[in-house]
Structure 1
Amino acid sequence: MLFIDKNGRVDAERVKVKIFPNIERGPMEKVNGIVVHQTYSPTAESTFNSYRDKGANGAHFLIDKDGTIYQTASLLKRTNHVGYLKSRCIATHVCSPTEFRLASSIRGTKKLSDHEYNKTWPQRYPSNKDAIGIELVGMAYAKDIPRKNEKPNLVYEDVTEAQNLSLRWLITELVRSFKVSTSEIYRHPHVSYKIVTEASTAKW
């Protein structure tokens, strides 16, 4: 288990505390899940630079390509790292008939996400309200040259072996510390509308 102080900071030899207050929001009273991301930036420092912007979004941890783990936000604070939520009941085929009709009738990812955020967990996926976010430094590159007026087909680079070793350790410790179910750990595209290859090579 991790030792976490009264300010939500981890005291562990493997974790470097580098808090960015601009990415912290209100209190996070309960942790129900963990979401694994890739940064869409080539280096840790480029991500840190974005975290210095007022109102920036970010996650609680960042793992560099060499496996260095940084804590970037308090574990007592919510951060905006998930984005728009997908419908859990539609994805898992466990909707009640009424909920299926309602969720299926909602048009637009923001409106559906707002509907999901009004639910309590586990009726919805872990969200900004109750999920720890872990970023892995990694860039996405165009797979091919797009045609005119088409968006490029982006593919994330592979997670390094050192990152996966650190990710496995960190998730094990977080699961023990917060009693998170291992079934509630997700890659970002599983719960939100993101590039499908994000964190696809992450292992824990």
Structure 2
Amino acid sequence: MLYVDENGHIDAERISLKIFKNIERGKMDAINGIVVHQTNAATASSTFNSYQTKGANGAHFLIDKDGTIYQTASLLRVTWHVGKTQSRCYVSKKCEPVELKMVSDLEKSWKNSTRVHRIEKSKVFPHRYPNNIDSIGIEIVGESKIEGGDEEPVYEPVNEKQNESLKWLIKELTETLSVSINEIYRHPEIGRKNATEASTARW
């Protein structure tokens, strides 16, 4: 179990505090899930620089290439790390018939992703995926590159040290925050993201 102080900061030997107020939004009232990302930046310092700009998006943690874990936002504050979510009932094939037809029609065009996201935002958990207001974000340093004739960039593999740190961090967070292991996701599993993001992350 982790010790979390009144500011939502963790006091643990394996975690370095490097809080960026710019990425913190409103108060987080509940934590229902964890979302694993990759930064699309080659270094931690590049990500930290981006976190210092006004209105920056970011996550609660960042795992560097050497396995160092940084806490970058309070566990009591929302960060914008998920973006537009997919329909949980559509992905899991558990929609009621009326909603299934509506979402199926919307899914035919990428332009309707905002409309699907609005429908999901109106739902309460667990009828939707965890999103910005109720999930912890973990970034792993790793950029994407165009490979061969691929049109979409491919994220570099998460290395062994990063995966070891990720495994430890998720174990501690799920125990400390009472988050179900079934509510841990790679970003593309719930959002509209490059399918290779965090695809090699292991926990």
**Structure 1 residue 145 displacement after superposition:** 4.6
- Equivalent position amino acid for 1:48 in 2: F
Q: Partners in 1 of 2:152 and 2:22 — Cα distance?
A: 31
1:167 aligned partner? 166
1:22 correspondence with 2:22:
yes
Q: Is the 8 A contact 1:57 1:81 kept in 2?
A: yes
Q: Deviations over 1:19-41 (max 9, x none)?
A: 00000000111100000000000
**Structure 1 residue 143 displacement after superposition:** 1.2
Q: Partners in 2 of 1:167 and 1:145 — Cα distance?
A: 32
Q: Is the 8 A contact 1:85 1:191 kept in 2?
A: yes
Unaligned runs of 5+ in 1: 147-151
SS of 2:4's equivalent?
A: coil
2:198 aligned partner? 199
1:78 aligned partner? 78
2:114 aligned partner? 110
- Equivalent position amino acid for 1:122 in 2: P
Q: What is the TM-score of this pair, normalised by structure 2?
A: 0.96
1:149 aligned partner? none
Moved over 4 A (4+): none
Aligned length: 199
What percent identity do the matched residue pairs reach? Answer: 56
1:100 aligned partner? 100
Q: What is the TM-score of this pair, normalised by structure 1?
A: 0.95
Q: Deviations over 1:112-131 (max 9, x none)?
A: 11110111111100100101
1:48 aligned partner? 48
Q: Partners in 2 of 1:44 and 1:14 — Cα distance?
A: 16
SS of 2:36's equivalent?
A: strand
- Equivalent position amino acid for 1:195 in 2: N
Q: Partners in 2 of 1:118 and 1:79 — Cα distance?
A: 19
- Equivalent position amino acid for 1:130 in 2: D
Q: Deviations over 1:73-94 (max 9, x none)?
A: 0000000000000001000000
SS of 2:10's equivalent?
A: coil
Q: Partners in 2 of 1:111 and 1:96 — Cα distance?
A: 18
Query: How large is the Cα RMSD of the aligned pairs?
Result: 1.0
Unaligned runs of 5+ in 2: none
1:91 aligned partner? 91
Q: Deviations over 1:1-56 (max 9, x none)?
A: 11000000000000000000000000111100000000000000000000000000
Q: Partners in 2 of 1:111 and 1:95 — Cα distance?
A: 16
Q: Partners in 2 of 1:191 and 1:153 — Cα distance?
A: 19
1:57 correspondence with 2:63:
no
2:155 aligned partner? 156
**Structure 1 residue 98 displacement after superposition:** 2.0
